[in-house]
Amino acid sequence: MVWITGASSGIGAALVRRLAADGHFVIISGRNRDALLKIQQPSPKLVKVLTCDVGDDISMAQAGRELAEITDQLDLVIACAGICEYEDNLELDVHMYRRVFDVNFFGVVNTLHQSLPLLANSRVPVFAAVGSLSSVVGFPRAEAYGASKAALSYFMESVRADTCRVRLRTVLVRPGFIDTPLTKSNDFAMPLLMSPEQAADRILRGLSGSGSTIDFPRRLSWPLRILGVLKPVWHRLCAPRITRIRKLRSA
């Protein structure tokens, strides 16, 4: 039994199609019920719709109750829900930061909170969360988005440490640029752009192994990892080429 949040589009939808095609029973969640129903149509006997908002505590508490009515066991949970908003001229809009964190970070916490009792009933439970390679180094304009994904990365590392003596396997997925509705509005070059189907294939291949991190594509992840270690190189040579800020806002 699999539960996928953020399943109405992008990577989540691609994962649902792959898993259902392989005969898995999948519970799919998101805020847009109509979009979820379209995803369900090709495999109505294998796909169950559970509408919820991962960033809303009340909605997720209700989702937890509905999950328990659907099944008493989850073997795999993939937290795919996410949003992205960029900084412009360091406006530092706290409300925007909270919106991003509510979905990208607290949404994952909510998802694990509601699924953990059902994962505990599985013989080989797996909890995976989709982060981003943007958390490896500090990208211009990505203060809110990148920080939420960096917080998620630390959270998953801590959960992994806390569950090292029990059966739960935690997996952090860090993709590069994926051609989804989330990236359609990006007004900058996206190197090594991948399709949701390619991303789903990489994720499922990674989940079939035993690792705790799935980074892709390698041609992007490895240079970023190196720059993450050599941060002075990133800030002196790379960041000045891509930042859009030339002077600070004045009062």
- pLDDT digits over 101-150, tens only? 999 999 999 999 999 999 999 999 999 999 999 999 988 899 999 999 99
- What totals of helices (H) and strands (E) does the chain contain, helices first? 10, 7
pLDDT value, residue 251? 63
pLDDT value, residue 7? 97
Report the Cα–Cα distance between both ends of the chain, in Å, rounded. 55
Q: Is 45 helix (H, G, I), strand (E, B) or coil?
A: coil
pLDDT value, residue 10? 96
The structure's pTM equals 0.92
pLDDT value, residue 63? 97
The stretches in the chain having pLDDT less than 70 are: 250-251
H or E element in which residue 37 lies: helix 33-40
pLDDT value, residue 234? 75
Q: Are strands 47-51 and 213-216 parallel, antiparallel or unpaired?
A: unpaired
Where do runs of H (alpha helix) occur along 41-165? 57-70, 94-104, 106-119, 143-162
pLDDT value, residue 250? 65
What long-range pairs does 176-181 form, CB within 8 A, spacing at least 24?
176/133, 176/216, 176/217, 176/220, 176/221, 177/220, 178/10, 178/11, 180/9, 180/10, 180/11, 181/9, 181/10
179 phi, psi to nearest 5 deg: -75, 85
Residues in the chain: 251
pLDDT value, residue 98? 98
Helix axes 143-162, 94-104, angle to 10 degrees: 40
Question: Is 70 in contact with 50 (CB distance < 8 Å)?
Answer: yes
Question: Is 131 in contact with 149 (CB distance < 8 Å)?
Answer: yes
Tell which residue, 115, 104, 84, has the closest CA to residue 190. 84
